Structure formats: C-alpha cells, structure tokens
Amino acid sequence: MGVPRVPAPVTSLLALAVTSEQIEHLHRRFKQLSQDQLTIRKENFDSIPDLEFNPIRGKIVHAFFDKRNLRQESDGLADEINFEDFLTIMSYFRPIEMNMDEEQLDRFRKEKLKFLFHMYDSDHDGKITLQEYRNVVEELLSGNPHLEKESARSIADGAMMEAASICVGQMGPDQVYEGITFEDFLKMWQGIDIETKMHVRFLNVDTIAHCY
Amino acid sequence: MEVVWAVGQVGAAWLALVFGLIIVPSALGISLGISEAYMWVLVKTLEWATIRLQKGAKKPQPQMPRTPTANGIIERDETPMEKEISLLHRADFEFSHIFYFCRKGFEAIVEDEVTQRFSSEELLSWNLLTRTNVNFHYISLRLTVVWVIGVIVRYCFLLPLRFTLAAIGIMSMIVGTTAVGQLPNGRVKNYLSEVVHLTCSRILVRALSGTIRYHNKENRPQKGGICVANHTSPIDAIILTNDGCYAMVGQVHGGLMGIIQRATVKACPHVWFERSEIKDRHLVTKRLREHVADKSKLPILIFPEGTCINNTSVMMFKKGSFEIGGTIYPVAIKYDPQFGDAFWNSSKYNIVSYLLRIMTSWAIVCNVWYLPPMVRKEDEDAVQFANRVRSAIARQGGLTELPWDGGLKRAKVKDTFKEEQQKNYSKMLVRNGSVG
C-alpha cells in the first residue's frame, strides 16, 4: 500500500487534463508493453493484436521513435524510448478542454497537424514529396490483391495535384511543385475540424460503493 | 512426549470438527448455514472498507465521461469505418483516411481489447486483498488494522482449513471412485458413482468457500447432451459438477491429476484423450459422437474457448464441439471478483500458486445460469451455430462478446483474419469511386 512508482519529471510535461490516475494507467500499459523493462523498442509493439489490422501500423510505430516528435534537438530515429517519451507521444492525442482559449486551441491544432505531417514526411526534409505521398497511399492499400499499384499511384497523383492547386494556385507550364511544406499542409486543413477526430479520451473510473 | 500427545489431541479434535460440520452435511447435501454467516460478515466488512476509501479519496476530478464497469479505460468511438471516413471526406482519397487509422492505432496501443482479457479484471473498489491493491493508496490506520486482521484470518485460519478439506475431498474421490469401479456395470454402480462424485464436489466447493447460485435449474443438461460453458479457471468443472453429474472431456495428465483421472474413469465413463489422439480431430469427434449417441450416458462437459479468459468477455468458440451433433445445453458462469479472483492467468502463475491464491482469497462467489437447450438449424454451419450459442451465453452472463480467438494469448493474429479487414477497407474505397 503506497504510491505507485511513476517517475517524477513526467508530471511537469503534461499540463491540463491528464490526471495522475491516467498516468498510472499509461504506466501500467507501458510496463505491459515493455515486459517490465525501462524502455520500449519497436519489437514490443508486435504484441498488440488490434494493431495488426492497421495498414499504417509501420508509420504509427515509427512515429513513436521519431526524434522530431520526441521534441529532441537531433534528427532521425531513436532506438528505444522510456516512459517519459511514451507520454510525450501520447500527449499529441490529448482531447481538447473546455477552458482553452483561442491561442491554446491554435497551438493544439498545430501540434496535432505537425505530428501528422511527420508521419508523411519520412525523409525528414520538411516537405512531403510526391514519392512520399505515394508511399503512404500504397501502405494504406497494402495487402489487397484487387488493387494494383497503378491505382495507388493515380490516387496519390490526383491528391498531390489538388494540394498544389490549393497552395500555389495556378502553376506555369515550367513550374515544378516540389512538395507540401508544413505551411501548405496547414492551409489544406483550414476549416476542417480535426481536433475532435484526433484524440483519445480517457474514461473516469471512480471508487463506488457496492451494496448487496 | 506430552507435547506430541497434546498436538495429537488438538489434531483429532480439529478433524472431528471438520468431519462433523462439513463433510457429513456435504454427503447429505444439506447446509448448516456457516458459510452464509461468513459471507454476511464479509459483505459488511467490505462495505465498511469501501465507504472509508471513498471518504479518504481526493477531491472530485473535472467532469469526464463515466462508465459503470471498468471494462475499458478509454472512450471508444464505435462509428463504423465507412461513416467515419465519409464524414471527413473532401475529395477522392485524402489525408482523411489516415486520421481514422491513426486514431485506431493509438487506441490499440493505449489499450487493446484482447490482451486486456488475459489479465485479471480491475476492481472498482478495494477488497482488502494485497494483490488487488494496485490503484489504492494508504488511507487510514483503521483500514490497515482491518487489513492485517484479514491477513491473519486468511492465512492462519482459512488456508489450513481449506487445505484439509481439499485433501480430504481429493482422497475420497480417488478412494470412492476406485471402490465403485469394482462393481459390475449396472444401475447400482451408476447411482453410487453419482453419489460419490457429488459428495466430493461439494467438499471441494467448500474447500474454496464457494457460494454458488444456480438459476433456471429446469434447463439442466440431460443425458446424451453436450454442455458448453465459458471458461475462466480449472475450478469451473467443480462448480458445475456440484449440481449435477457430467462426463468430463480432457487430456490425460501425469501426476496427481492423472491418478484422479484413472480412478474416476473406472466409475463413470469420462472421456480422456491421450496427447497423440488430441491432434487427430476426426478421432476426437468420432469418440464424442459415440458417447453422445448413447442416451444413457451422462452429458459431456466442454469448454469451447479452449483457454482461460478473465470472465469479462467470451471469446471465439472453437467449432469442433458444435460439429458433433446432438443437443447443446449452454451454461453461463459469472464470478463476482469482489471476493476473490478466480481467473487463472496461466502465463503468469502456475497451477500451484494459482490454487494458493484461490485458497487465500475471501471466497469464490459465482452465478450459474442454465440456458434453454439449442440445436443446430438446417441452414446453419458449425461456426454460425457456435456464434449463436456464444451470444446467448454472453447475453445471460453480462459478458461482452469478442470475435477473437483465445489462442491469441500465446500466438499472433492469423493472416487470414488480417486480410479480411484489409479487404473490407479496399472494398469500401472502390465503392466510393476513389479507384478505377
């Protein structure tokens, strides 16, 4: 009977609505995934059956180890992450709170979109090129024998063209659209409400009296 | 010398008490009301403990969605994939699809429905057992004192008592069934074998301080039928045989279990398979079919999940049991985790430590519902029939249904299952005109 062992610096990372109870839940989940080690590696995510279905499973797991998401100065991929890093990634999926003001909401939204942007931009150069976009589409459609590679390509090309038209307007015949930068990305998602779609909300589990 | 004599006296008195108060009533099938009194005291204590915990809890947190049972820690959006993607639809195929999968992926990482079922259910309030004290912090001195008393009662009084009873129960089972097995086959033998099995079952249930409530006894499995139930622990079999006689189905083990199996099969036609025979599905089905065809034989007891699940859900039923034919008598078993967790997490505990945990819990309280018999319909195949039975059991016991295979405890997802899901997604894309 005592306070569970959650590392102290963690609580400073997460402001607002993440309670210590939720941190405990996540800590337990972390220990389950890491099999009681202090860090998680990519292989540990293999033990989740629900995740097997997900076509972009690779990208999601990758996102956990992406140093840009971990707010580290350097670039590239980390080999393993500890509980603090795990919580940092989880914080991208915080639901919005009632008491947020305009500026906070805006920052919130930008963070979530940045997370998504990193998922597309696999070579970390700050731009989503046609090839990178094609990769994502192919992954989403992977494993289905009925769809050929050509279809995946045409989808990607079509989407890229639309992106170009939104961001750059009419292009001249000799202009080449290099790739979607983060600003363009933000422009594309203006007006679409993603904050309510990209979050995981915890349920409140209190002690209640059992009466027989 | 005198010390030995005194100890002998105490031991004899102890055994006499146990015999008089527990064994004899078990044989006769009556209850002296001791367990009821014990349960009443227990319930009052736990209620008091819960109220103290509530008083000691921190101030209320900001309003968030609540759930009556701790069946999950995150709110899941159950909108089907189609609807959700169309809501975000802007052009043909867009970044929108990635949102859906991204979120699903995160939900799976925070908490997946399957792995959750292979660990013990979390309690909403502490039941004064150390092992369930994960969430709860130190509250007050009084609570600690009660907890200490609880430990002493459980380990120094209940454990030896239960151990004695279990030993007596198993011994009498072996001796009794061997004795009955010597008789020639006939009505007398069957009757005596039933008596022996029932008595030993009752003794073993008392060895666990079990309080079992049977509902709808009119639907009890008849001879020549097949009884299926959800599986939570090895005790399930004892819980069911406490109220009726069944022919057990299982693999031959070594050691103590093997001795029990060899003894009981002499008295009653249980179906024990050798390890090599289990692999041959046709052989298994054939033997079971022969047993069921003989209407004078006891109903067979099968647990189609194949492995122990933590009693919050019912997982996929293996279709083998439903291909045999005959009438199926479904039974739903739901344990009350407040008094003791019956779930056997075989990857975490071996059978001995599991039994030790069971014997040092407060009690095993469960409800058993006998459901009306079901027969396979003309146009149903074994899998659909299995799902129908499973739904009935889940609905009655208040458990959730999961389409997953209990084998996932140890193995990975089958590729065929994965491909199904991917096919669904691509079909939807084609339909929306995104492709081609």
Whether residues B429 and A194 touch (CB distance < 8 A) is answered with no
> Which fold is adopted by the domain A8-97+199-211?
Recoverin; domain 1 (1.10.238)
Contacts with B410 from chain A: Cβ below 8 Å: none
CB burial readout B187-213, b (16+ within 10 A) else e: eebbebbbebbbbbbbbbbbbbbbbbe
From B151's Cα to the closest Cα of chain A, the distance in A is 14
Domain positions in chain B: 141-409
pLDDT of B360: 84
pLDDT category, B329, cuts 50, 70, 90?
A: very high
Residue A191 amino acid letter:
G
CATH 1.10.238.10 domain extents, chain A: 8-97+199-211, 102-197
- Model confidence pLDDT, tens digit, residues B270-282: 888 887 777 777 8
Residue B90 has pLDDT above 60, yes or no: no
Q: Stretch B343-360: mean pLDDT, rounded?
A: 82
* Alpha carbons B273 and B267: distance in angstroms, whole number: 17
pLDDT category, A5, cuts 50, 70, 90?
A: very low
Q: For A162, which of B65, B91, B112 is closest by C-beta distance?
A: B91
Beta strands in B61-164 (DSSP E): 74-75
Whether residues A203 and B75 touch (CB distance < 8 A) is answered with yes
Whether residues B98 and A116 touch (CB distance < 8 A) is answered with yes
pLDDT of A9: 43
- Model confidence pLDDT, tens digit, residues A9-31: 444 344 434 567 778 778 888 88
Contacts with A4 from chain B: Cβ below 8 Å: 134
From A37's Cα to the closest Cα of chain B, the distance in A is 16
pLDDT of B369: 92
Q: Between the ranges B89-93, B293-297, B299-303, where is the mean pLDDT highest? A: B299-303
Nearest to B206 by CA among B158, B256, B155: B158
Chain A segment 62-81 residues within 8 A of B by beta carbon are none
- Model confidence pLDDT, tens digit, residues B208-263: 888 888 988 888 888 888 899 988 888 888 889 888 888 888 888 777 888 888 88
Give the 3-state secondary structure of chain B: CHHHHHHHHHHHHHHHHHHHHHHHHHHHCCCCCHHHHHHHHHHHHHHHHHHHHHHHCCCCCCCCCECCCCCCCEECCCCCHHHHHHHCCCCCCCCHHHHHHHHHHHHHHHCCCCHHHHCCCCCCCCCCCHHHCCCCCCCCHHHHHHHHHHHHHHHHHHHHHHHHHHHHHHHHHHHHHHHHHCCCCCHHHHHHHHHHHHHHHHHHHHHCCEEEEEECHHHCCCCCCEEEECCCCCHHHHHHHCCCCCEEEEECCCHHHHHHHHHHHHHCCCEEECHHHHHCHHHHHHHHHHHHHCCCCCCEEECCCCCCCCCCEECCCCHHHHHCCCCEEEEEEEEECCCCCCCCCCCCCCHHHHHHHHHCCCCEEEEEEECCCECCCCCCCHHHHHHHHHHHHHHHHCCEECCCCHHHHCCCCCHHHHHHHHHHHHHHHHHCCCCC
Phi-psi group of A124: left, alpha or beta (phi > 0 → left; psi -120 to 50 → alpha; rest → beta): left
Residue B136 has pLDDT above 60, yes or no: no
pLDDT of B95: 59
pLDDT of B263: 86
pLDDT category, B96, cuts 50, 70, 90?
A: low
Q: Distance of alpha carbon B342 from its chain centroid, rounded?
A: 7
Q: For A53, which of B51, B133, B418 is closest by C-beta distance?
A: B418
pLDDT of B436: 37
Whether residues B135 and A24 touch (CB distance < 8 A) is answered with yes
Nearest to B332 by CA among B392, B386, B376: B392
- Model confidence pLDDT, tens digit, residues B374-385: 888 888 888 888
Lowest-pLDDT choice from A67-81, A183-197, B364-378: A183-197
Q: Stretch A54-68: mean pLDDT, rounded?
A: 82
Q: For A201, which of B74, B105, B109 is closest by C-beta distance?
A: B74
Asked if the C-beta of B421 comes within 8 angstroms of chain A's C-beta atoms, the answer is yes
From B131's Cα to the closest Cα of chain A, the distance in A is 10
* Alpha carbons B76 and A200: distance in angstroms, whole number: 8
**In chain A, what percentage of residues exceed pLDDT 70?**
69
Whether residues A140 and B101 touch (CB distance < 8 A) is answered with yes
* Alpha carbons B403 and B47: distance in angstroms, whole number: 36
- ipTM above 0.85? no
Whether residues B75 and A141 touch (CB distance < 8 A) is answered with no
Chain B segment 79-98 residues within 8 A of A by beta carbon are 88, 90-95, 97-98
Q: Between the ranges A42-46, B35-39, B102-106, where is the mean pLDDT highest? A: A42-46
pLDDT category, A2, cuts 50, 70, 90?
A: very low
- Model confidence pLDDT, tens digit, residues A156-166: 777 777 777 77
Contacts with A201 from chain B: Cβ below 8 Å: 64-65, 74-75
Whether residues B101 and A198 touch (CB distance < 8 A) is answered with no
Whether residues A55 and B422 touch (CB distance < 8 A) is answered with yes
Asked if the C-beta of B73 comes within 8 angstroms of chain A's C-beta atoms, the answer is yes
pLDDT of B407: 63
- Model confidence pLDDT, tens digit, residues B142-181: 777 877 888 888 888 888 888 888 888 888 888 888 888 8
Chain B segment 319-338 residues within 8 A of A by beta carbon are 338
Asked if the C-beta of B276 comes within 8 angstroms of chain A's C-beta atoms, the answer is no
pLDDT category, B333, cuts 50, 70, 90?
A: very high
Determine the Cα angle at B337 with ends B334 and B340, to 5°.
115
Residue A167 has pLDDT above 70, yes or no: no
A102-197 architecture in CATH?
Answer: Orthogonal Bundle (1.10)
Q: B213 Cβ partners below 8 Å, 6+ apart?
A: B366, B367, B368
Residue B32 has pLDDT above 80, yes or no: no
pLDDT of B326: 82
Where helices occur in chain A by DSSP H, the ranges are 10-13, 20-34, 49-52, 57-65, 83-90, 102-120, 130-140, 149-168, 182-188
Chain A segment 165-184 residues within 8 A of B by beta carbon are none
Whether residues A141 and B429 touch (CB distance < 8 A) is answered with yes
Of the residues A5, A52, A180, A189, the best mutation for testing chain B's interface (the one with the most B CB atoms within 10 Å of its CB) is A52
pLDDT of B330: 92
pLDDT category, B6, cuts 50, 70, 90?
A: confident
Asked if the C-beta of B67 comes within 8 angstroms of chain A's C-beta atoms, the answer is yes
